[in-house]
Amino acid sequence: MAITGLTTPHTYSSAYSYMPVRFVSDNVNTLTNFDYLVNITYDRVGVSSSLVVGIGGTIGTQLTLTQTHNFEIGDKVLLDDASDDYTGIYTVLDIVSTTVVIINLKETSPMIGPSTLSKTIPYKNLPDLDKESKITIHNSIKDFVTQNLEDVNEIFEGPDTVFDYDIQLGEQYTYHYPFVDNYAGSTGVGFNNTGLTAADLAFKVGDRVEIVQDITEWKFQSTFLPSGSINQLGLIGTTQNDFGIGIPVTVTGQIAEPSYNGSTVVADLVNSTRITVAKQWITDTTDAGSIFGYPRPTYNTIATITDIYDTVGFGVVVETDITWAGSSLPIGGKMYYADGRTTKDITVTGVTGMSAYNSYTDLIGYTADAMDKYVIQNRTANNNYSSTILSDDLTTEYRIEKESKSWLLQHMYITGITTQGRFEYFDASGNSISTVVINNVTTNDKDFYVPVGIDQVINSSNTFLFAGSPLSTVRDDVDKYTFAMYTMPTRISNEITFNVNDDCTSYEMLHLMWKDKLGSWLSYPFKYMSKDRTAFDRATFYQTNGKWDRGANTFGYDTFGRGEKSYFNQSRDSITLNSGWANEGENRLIKDLLDSASVYVQLEDGTLVGCILNDTDFTFSKKDNEMIYQYELDITLSNNAQRY
C-alpha cells in the first residue's frame, strides 16, 4: 500500500473544530471489499514479553509492559507487533497488575521484535466517490478534553485541557494473489506470477485457499455446418483452443445470425482450431466473434498451500496439493483465503506527536493551524501567546477589578526549562512600581493555569518580588499592569495588558467568570445595581378530611391536620446583573461569555458559584449608535435548589 494525498490535523489543533484526515491508497482500485482504516491511538506503552494463558474458559495472551499502564477491562487496544504477525485491535480481558494485562489474542508463536500497546479509537469507512478516505476526528477527540478549575491563588495544573494522540492509517480488504499461469510443481499444481516474489505474499504454507481461474477468450473468424448434423454449429479459428467437450461457453459477436450468440456448451473438438457448440446451424456466416469459458484443465477448487518459493523465469510460485492434470495455454486468475477472511493492514503509515486542546476555532477564517500560536514553543517570544482570547488583541487594555479572579491557560512545549509568570505593575503616571514573578510549583510543566487577579497574586505563597515595592504595599496605586510568561529573565510570550477599573460604585460588586473559547478563565465585573429573584415550585396532595378515633369508636373532622398538604417545595435563586459603562471593544468578551458552557458568578466575598445564563437573545451596542451604554444579563444559580 502506498499512501498519497495525506491531510491530517495540525500538530496543535482545537478539539472542538474540524480535524480533517484525508488520504488515498493505491490499492483502492485493485482489491475487493476495500475499506479505509483510521486509528486514533493514545496512552502507548511498550511490550516486553508475551505468554499464552487461560482465562474464563478461553485462551488469551498475557502481555508484560515496559511501564505502568492505565488500561481498564473492556478497553479496545491496538497491538503493533514489529513482525506484523499479531498487529491488530484487541480487547483487554483482565488487569493482572500495573504492568501486566491480558488481551483476547490467541498467540501461536512468540512475538519477534519490539511491540507496543495503545488505547485506540477505530474508524472504518468506504472509499468516497473520489476513491479517497475523508473524515473528521474532532467528534471523538473533543470528548477527551475539558477544563480544570481550582479556586486557588497558585498556578494549578490543566491536564484535562489537552489530549495527546497519534494517527495510524491502514486498509482492510479481501486479500488475493494474482497468478498469471499454472505450473507443474513437485507436490502438485503451482500458480506463478513473474512480477512478484515470495516476500510480497500474505499467504503462508498450510493456508487453505480458493483458486478462481480467469475466463478465457478464444476468437473465431467464421462458422460452418458440421458434417452430418444441423444441431451443431461449427466455429473456425486461427489459434489453438483448450476447451473440452461439455465445457460451458458463451458465444458473442454474431450479427448476421444473432441466434448464434449466447450460452451453450462445447459439443465436439474437430481439431485444435475448430470446435462445435450445441447451437442449431442455420447458415454459414463470416462474422468474426469470440467464445468465453474455462479451458481444460480447470483448477477452480479449494486447496492447501504446500510450498511458496521463487524460481528463475517464473517469479514466485505458490504450490498446492492439487493434482497436475496437464499443460494448457497460459491461464491467469486469483487465489483467495478459503474462509473468506478479510485482511487488515492497520499500521501502513501514520503521524505521531499530535495534541488537541480544549478550544475551538471560528468557522469564519478557519485554518488548520489556528491553535499553533497559542502553544508556547521554541521560537521568538512575539510568536507565542497565552491560550486566551485576550491574546487576540494585544493593543487593548482589558478592564479588571483588584478583587477579580481570573486564570490564564498556558500550553508550554519548551523542554528542559523552568517557566514563571511575570507581572509588572504601573501607577497612573506610567511608572513601574512593582514586578512580581509567580513560580510554577506543579508537576505539570506543559499545561497549567496562572492566576492574574491583583489580590490573587498578593495572596499567592509562590511569588517573589523581582523589582520595586511589594505589591501589597502599592495595591491601591496600581493603574495598569502587564503579564507574560518568562524563563527568567527572558520573556517567552507576548504581553497582555490589564487596566484596573476606576468606575466607582456603591452597589454590590459581582463578577461573571467563564471559560473562554481557548480554555482560560476570564472575569468581567458587574458593579451596578443587581436584582435578586427567587422562583418557587410546589407540589401538593389532598388528605381526606375525616378522622377515625379507634379508642372512642367515633368519627369526626379536625381543622388543622387534613385537606390539601404540601408534598414538595423547591426554590431557585436568580440574579439580574448590570455592568458598568462598557467599551465597544468589550463586545467580543461579552459574546464569548454568552457562548461559554461554563459560567460562574463571583460573589462579593470572593466565593465562586456555578450559574446558568438565561439570556437567549442579545443586542450588542456600538459607540456609533449609542454614546454610552451598559449590559444587563440574567442568571440562575446552578446549585441553590432547596427542597423541603
Three-class SS of residue 458? helix
Contact call for residues 403 and 388 (beta carbons, < 8 A): no
Distance separating alpha carbons of residues 38 and 165, to the nearest angstrom: 13
Distance separating alpha carbons of residues 382 and 490, to the nearest angstrom: 12
| Residue labelled with grid coordinates 372512642 | 552
Last residue of a domain, one of 121, 154, 173: 173
Three-class SS of residue 160? helix
Last residue of a domain, one of 229, 263, 293: 293
pLDDT digits (tens, 9 = 90+) for 371-421: 999 999 999 999 999 999 999 999 888 989 899 999 999 999 987 788 999
SS (H, E, C) 120-137: EEEEEECCCCCCCEEEEC
- Domain contains 364: no
Contact call for residues 491 and 386 (beta carbons, < 8 A): no
Closest Cα to residue 387, out of 15, 87, 107?
Answer: 15
Closest Cα to residue 570, out of 596, 539, 541, 616?
Answer: 539
List the single range of 36-50, 320-334, 620-634 with lowest mean pLDDT.
Answer: 620-634
pLDDT digits (tens, 9 = 90+) for 112-137: 778 999 999 999 999 999 999 999 99
pLDDT of residue 97: 97
List the CATH number of the domain containing 327. 2.40.30
Distance separating alpha carbons of residues 627 and 159, to the nearest angstrom: 44
- Domain contains 553: yes
Same domain, 109 and 204: no
Same domain, 384 and 438: yes
Same domain, 420 and 434: yes
- Domain contains 431: yes
Sign of CA dihedral 586, 592, 595, 597: negative
pLDDT digits (tens, 9 = 90+) for 182-232: 989 898 999 999 999 999 998 999 999 999 999 999 999 999 999 867 889
Distance separating alpha carbons of residues 315 and 190, to the nearest angstrom: 11
Domain coverage including residue 472: 371-500
pLDDT digits (tens, 9 = 90+) for 428-476: 999 999 999 999 988 888 999 999 999 999 999 999 999 999 999 999 9
pLDDT class for 628, splitting at 50, 70, 90?
very low
The angle at the Cα of 576, spanning 570 to 578, to the nearest 5 degrees, equals 165
Distance separating alpha carbons of residues 31 and 528, to the nearest angstrom: 71
Same domain, 81 and 221: no
- Domain contains 46: yes
Residue 124 vs residue 503, higher pLDDT: 124
Buried-exposed string 129-155: b where 16+ CB fall within 10 A, e elsewhere:
eeebbbbebbebbbebbbbbbeeebbb
Q: How far is CA 535 from CA 280, 539, 571, 613, 639, in A?
A: 95, 14, 5, 16, 14
Same domain, 221 and 309: no
Structurally, the chain folds into a number of domains equal to 5
List the CATH number of the domain containing 470. 2.60.40
List the single range of 368-372, 433-437, 474-478, 553-557 with lowest mean pLDDT.
Answer: 553-557
Same domain, 439 and 480: yes
Same domain, 277 and 196: no
- Domain contains 359: no
Same domain, 20 and 156: yes
Three-class SS of residue 177? strand
pLDDT digits (tens, 9 = 90+) for 256-314: 999 999 999 999 999 889 999 999 999 999 999 999 998 888 899 999 999 999 999 99
Single-letter amino acid code for the residue at 470: P
Q: What is the DSSP pairing of strand 343-357 with strand 12-14?
A: parallel
Same domain, 493 and 623: no
Closest Cα to residue 270, out of 228, 234, 218, 216?
Answer: 234
List the CATH number of the domain containing 223. 2.40.30.20
Distance separating alpha carbons of residues 618 and 615, to the nearest angstrom: 7
Q: How far is CA 99 from CA 48, 49, 63, 65, 555, in A?
A: 10, 11, 8, 5, 75
Average pLDDT of the segment spanning 579-603: 77
pLDDT class for 582, splitting at 50, 70, 90?
low
Same domain, 337 and 191: yes
End-to-end CA distance of the chain: 68
pLDDT of residue 627: 39
- Tell me the Ramachandran region of residue 206: left when phi exceeds 0, alpha when psi lies from -120 to 50, beta otherwise: left
Joined grid coordinates for residue 344:
487488515
Highest mean pLDDT (candidates 391-405, 519-533, 619-633): 391-405
- Domain contains 363: no
- Domain contains 637: yes
Contact call for residues 236 and 289 (beta carbons, < 8 A): no
Distance separating alpha carbons of residues 524 and 424, to the nearest angstrom: 21
Distance separating alpha carbons of residues 47 and 344, to the nearest angstrom: 21
Note the Cα 33 to chain centre separation in Å: 24
- Domain contains 366: no
Same domain, 61 and 187: no
Joined grid coordinates for residue 353:
506527536
Same domain, 191 and 96: no
Note the Cα 551 to chain centre separation in Å: 74
